């Protein structure tokens, strides 16, 4: 499992001929797991495995059976957070959008402690209107739920009929209920 996101803040001017301005939220973010036992810096775009690897908290996840040793990473919930300033005067702009070019996968997005949107599909771009929430100085939090626990939850909630298979053959060492989440199978 990988958590990847890229954010772009787009501002559209009151004058329709005015070019939209944008401010990228790429760069250093802060990452923490559900119970706060791990807190570390991480890059966006990027993912939790990469951040842990760069801090020597895990070894190469592609080496031998490390993917199985590091299964706990995909079973935990991870929050990305950051504080940022808008480098231009937002009062001059009619609309402000927060755009995720890519986000993997299940998350709640909070801006200045206000829930502004949710995501559950890795294969699309998300745009949230943040005109009434954005300030000159902001805090953003992206709370990812474990894709494994989300898929299991969705499967339990779906009682009308069976959607096989529940789990892959055990020899594959894969996760269950992949057909309940819109996410890359890696």
The binding site for ligand NAG (CB under 6 A) comprises 33-35, 37, 72, 76-77, 145-146, 149
**What are the tokens at 1?**
């499992």
Nearest residue (CB) to ligand NAG, 77 versus 121: 77
Nearest residue (CB) to ligand NAG, 49 versus 97: 49
Q: How far, in Å, CA of 116 to CA of 127, rounded?
A: 10
In the complex, what is the shortest distance from the CB of residue 60 to ligand NAG, in angstroms, rounded to a whole number?
A: 20
In the complex, what is the shortest distance from the CB of residue 36 to ligand NAG, in angstroms, rounded to a whole number?
A: 8
**Are the C-beta atoms of 48 and 2 separated by less than 8 Å?**
yes
Nearest residue (CB) to ligand NAG, 6 versus 34: 34
Closest to 84 in 3D by CA, of 22, 29, 21, 4: 29
Nearest residue (CB) to ligand NAG, 109 versus 134: 109
H helical segments located in 90-177 = 147-157
* Residue nearest to ligand NAG according to CB distances in the complex: 34
In the complex, what is the shortest distance from the CB of residue 149 to ligand NAG, in angstroms, rounded to a whole number?
A: 5
Alpha-carbon distances, residue 23 vs 69, 108, 130 (angstroms): 38, 21, 14
On the CB side of 2, CA atoms within 13 Å amount to 18
In the complex, what is the shortest distance from the CB of residue 38 to ligand NAG, in angstroms, rounded to a whole number?
A: 7
């Amino acid at each position: 499992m990988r958590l990847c996101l890229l954010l772009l803040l787009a501002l559209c001017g009151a004058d329709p001929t005015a070019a939209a301005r944008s401010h990228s939220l790429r760069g250093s973010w802060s990452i923490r797991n559900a119970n706060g036992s791990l807190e570390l810096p991480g890059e966006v775009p990027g993912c939790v495995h990469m951040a842990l690897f760069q801090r020597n908290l895990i070894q190469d996840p592609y080496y031998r059976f490390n993917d199985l040793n590091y299964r706990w990473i995909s079973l935990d919930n991870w929050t990305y957070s950051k504080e940022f300033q808008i480098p231009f005067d937002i009062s001059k702009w009619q609309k402000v959008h927060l755009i995720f070019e890519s986000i993997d996968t299940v998350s709640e997005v909070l801006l200045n402690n206000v829930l502004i949107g949710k995501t559950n599909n890795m294969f699309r771009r998300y745009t949230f209107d943040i005109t009434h929430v954005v300030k000159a100085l902001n805090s953003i939090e992206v709370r990812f739920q474990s894709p494994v626990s989300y898929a299991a939850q969705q499967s339990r909630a779906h009682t009308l009929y069976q959607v096989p298979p529940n789990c892959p053959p055990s020899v594959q060492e894969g996760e269950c209920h992949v057909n309940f989440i819109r996410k890359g199978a890696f």
